[in-house]
Amino acid sequence: MKKAGLIICLLLLIGCKSKTVNRDTEDLKIKKVSGSEINANQQQKAYELGKRVLSTCNTSKFKPFNETEVTKSVMENTTEERLTKTCQRFRQYYGSFIDLKLDGVYKTKNEIIYRYHALYSKKVANKELRVFVNDENLISAIKSMDWDEKFDAKLANQ
């Protein structure tokens, strides 16, 4: 009986052997972009679309995105119902949305990340909005999170 248990344990250890995963570290590298490298039109587009999403909380009216502005997945995920649910929570805790203040622009291999400090009427509000723009100049993600003075590259692509 002990031998059978030992054999099963050995087989489990062999079967659970971890695999080596090769990741292209170039994909994970994020570097801050200087002011001269920033595309002004792209920056304006990221600002306007980010502001449009957060302004929905003040007006309760959302102008849907189109295929020239965002990727299909963003268009499908940014629905009036989902925004309404999020906006109720945001208005309760943070007050009215005021504006976005650009904190930095970061570049990965495939995307540019615009990091904004979201300003709200309540002083306790400390939120950030990240707008991801892909190589096709389409918004590929919009992400809201708690503000941290230090840009955390690990959280950039989650």
Q: Is 130:142 a contact under the CB 8 Å cutoff?
A: yes
Q: Which CATH class is domain 39-156?
A: alpha beta
Sequence-distant (≥ 6) Cβ neighbours of residue 83 within 8 angstroms: 53, 56, 57, 62
- Domains of the chain by residue range: 39-156
Which element (helix H / strand E) includes 46? Answer: helix 40-59
Q: How confident is the model at residue 158 (pLDDT cuts 50, 70, 90)?
A: very low
pLDDT of residue 25: 47
pTM over 0.85: no
Q: Give the span between the Cα atoms of 20 and 16, in whole angstroms.
A: 12
Q: Which of 68-82, 96-110, 141-155 has the lowest mean pLDDT?
A: 141-155
Residue position matching structure tokens 């709200």: 120
pLDDT of residue 123: 87
Q: Give the span between the Cα atoms of 13 and 102, in whole angstroms.
A: 51
Q: How confident is the model at residue 155 (pLDDT cuts 50, 70, 90)?
A: low
> Residues, the chain, total?
158
pLDDT digits (tens, 9 = 90+) for 132-147: 999 999 999 999 999 9
Taking CA atoms, 70 is separated from 3, 60, 91, 108, 110, in Å, by 61, 21, 25, 18, 15
